[in-house]
Structure 1
Amino acid sequence: MSTLFGEVAALYDDIRPGYPGELLDTVRAYHGGTPHAVVDIGAGTGQGTELLLRLGAPVTCVEPDTRMAAVLAAKFPQVQVEAVRFEDWAPPPGGADMLACASAWHWMDPPTRARRAHDALAPGGTLAVFHNRFEYAAPAASHAIDEVYQAVDGPEAVPRRSAGFAYDDIVGSGLFADARAVEWHRYPELTTQGYLRLTETFAPFRQRPERERQTILAGLAAAIDGLGGRITMDIRTVLAIGHRPR
């Protein structure tokens, strides 16, 4: 993870979408008002940070990739940035009032992440885990994209995490109370070039050899051009929220 996104930090910051304002309203209402302070773990270049700052509380960002952290710090000089893994981070004395994680929960150590989040929170503190899931508004578009990857990987698709994996993780840990799951949908339209740039920030794409990347990009370009040069996304934002019992 330390090099996966850092090598395209500027592109990631430019092309990755943020999160809907309704998510912020839901988190604030669940918490019962403005938190005293917020910790954003796996903050990346700040797509989630931008939203969390609107809570009106001090924000500390934990981001292990120094190149991502540098972009984040330049964008939001008012936040404290700690370039360290969540697993090595020391929570504030007494615990955090709110711990948030935007599109990074799957990068945390699966056997320990829920326990670490629980222990990092103050009693009664809120855990808010959310991510964007990139899908397609039209079945024809979804089919065309799938065909490109199947041409490279064969007919067996790589299993995706369930949309509700973070909620299942939080509930399954038995450590949090009043866990809830909420989701929203947005339908932006991307040009062929816009979609290719977005693809270059996806982890499964970045983990491939360069030759495979180029083959996929060429296939995607042809597929989207065949759909008229534009593709309508279904960006599904999923929030899992719970609190540490008092």
Structure 2
Amino acid sequence: MDHSEQAAAHASSFGAAAVAYAEHRPDYARTAVAWALETAPGPRVLDLGAGTGKLTGTLLASGADVVAVEPDPAMLAELRRGLPAVRALAGGAEAIPLADGSVDAVLAGNAMHWFDMSVAGPEIARVLAPGGVLAGLWNVMDEQVPWVEGLARVSGSAAIGPRDTLASWRAVTADMHLPRGGAPRFGSPEQSAFPHGQRRTADSLVATLATRAGVLVMPEEERQTALGRIRRYLAGRPETADGEFTLPMLTGVLRVRRL
């Protein structure tokens, strides 16, 4: 399987786990959403690649006028079930079902790395009003905390990949907004990160990691081996062995302005 085939397999893996994704994936730090929208010229926000609505819900709580767009039917159905008042449309970053200049900001929660920016960049620019904002948000683990650094080491790259810890996230996402080829449509990127956390138990943290694309596409025996290794690690750490704990996280934001 080449890189493009692997990426497609990963991107299409979430639908089968839509209910688990909705239950276990974290929301986004409200301070991160506020910073992402700080320079937007108005309240109209597109949540692009909205999944089950994790970012959509945070945007609603911020007072934004939100429309959600999601390509996977199972994920979209879960979003509509959980947030029935939200306008939620089938579509993707490469073909956005909205009119020109119809939103003031486009936000993507843990989704921009799936976009083909050679096509999605011009599409996003098309639907943005002049001066509008494009922002990608990613929840990353705070590997400066020793037990989290150990978890990353034990879990392997399938469960905790290059966008899942702060230092690697900064490098991997630095120019992710840039369309490949053609005239640039966005200004210089800004990155910032905001404290966040998620209440978990050892079982629910394993369930969260099981929704990662790299884990979802594993052969079943390999998947169970990897998850068992993570369970044993959590059972052996005093921070995570008994009851609930807070998983230390940050919401990282890449923000750019439409020219």
TM-score, shorter chain, exceeding 0.5: yes
**1:3-53 deviation line (CA, Å, top 9, x unaligned):** 411111111111111111112322343225x42x22111000111101112
Q: Does 1:42 align with 2:49?
A: yes
Partner letter of residue 18 of structure 1?
D
Q: CA RMSD in A?
A: 2.7
User: Match of 1:216, SS?
Assistant: helix
Partner letter of residue 127 of structure 1?
L
Shift of residue 217 of structure 1? 1.2
Partner letter of residue 236 of structure 1?
L
Number of the residue aligned with 2:135: 128
Partner letter of residue 224 of structure 1?
L
Match of 2:214 among 193, 198, 204: 204
Number of the residue aligned with 1:10: 19
In 2 relative to 1, CA 149–239 (structure 1 residues): closer, same or farther, beyond 3 Å? closer
Number of the residue aligned with 1:88: 95
Return the alpha-carbon distance in structure 2 between the equivalents of residues 217 and 158 of structure 1.
12
Return the alpha-carbon distance in structure 2 between the equivalents of residues 188 and 74 of structure 1.
23
In 2 relative to 1, CA 171–66 (structure 1 residues): closer, same or farther, beyond 3 Å? closer
Return the alpha-carbon distance in structure 1 between the equivalents of residues 130 and 162 of structure 2.
34
Shift of residue 127 of structure 1? 1.2
Shift of residue 187 of structure 1? 4.3
Number of the residue aligned with 1:179: 189
Return the alpha-carbon distance in structure 2 between the equivalents of residues 80 and 43 of structure 1.
12
Partner letter of residue 175 of structure 1?
R
Return the alpha-carbon distance in structure 2 between the equivalents of residues 126 and 178 of structure 1.
12
State whether residues 38 and 97 of structure 1, in contact with CA within 8 Å, keep that contact through their aligned partners in structure 2.
yes
In 2 relative to 1, CA 225–240 (structure 1 residues): closer, same or farther, beyond 3 Å? same
Return the alpha-carbon distance in structure 2 between the equivalents of residues 18 and 107 of structure 1.
19
Partner letter of residue 39 of structure 1?
L
**1:36-74 deviation line (CA, Å, top 9, x unaligned):** x22111000111101112343432111111111011111
Return the alpha-carbon distance in structure 1 between the equivalents of residues 160 and 36 of structure 2.
32
Return the alpha-carbon distance in structure 2 between the equivalents of residues 159 and 15 of structure 1.
18
TM-score, normalised with respect to structure 2 = 0.80
User: Match of 1:56, SS?
Assistant: coil
Q: What number of residue pairs does the alignment pair up?
A: 238
Map 1:1-246 to 2 at 5 A: 3-31=12-40, 34-35=42-43, 37-143=44-150, 145-147=152-154, 149=156, 160-161=162-163, 162-164=168-170, 165-170=172-177, 174-177=184-187, 179-188=189-198, 190-228=200-238, 229=241, 233-245=247-259
Return the alpha-carbon distance in structure 2 between the equivalents of residues 138 and 61 of structure 1.
34
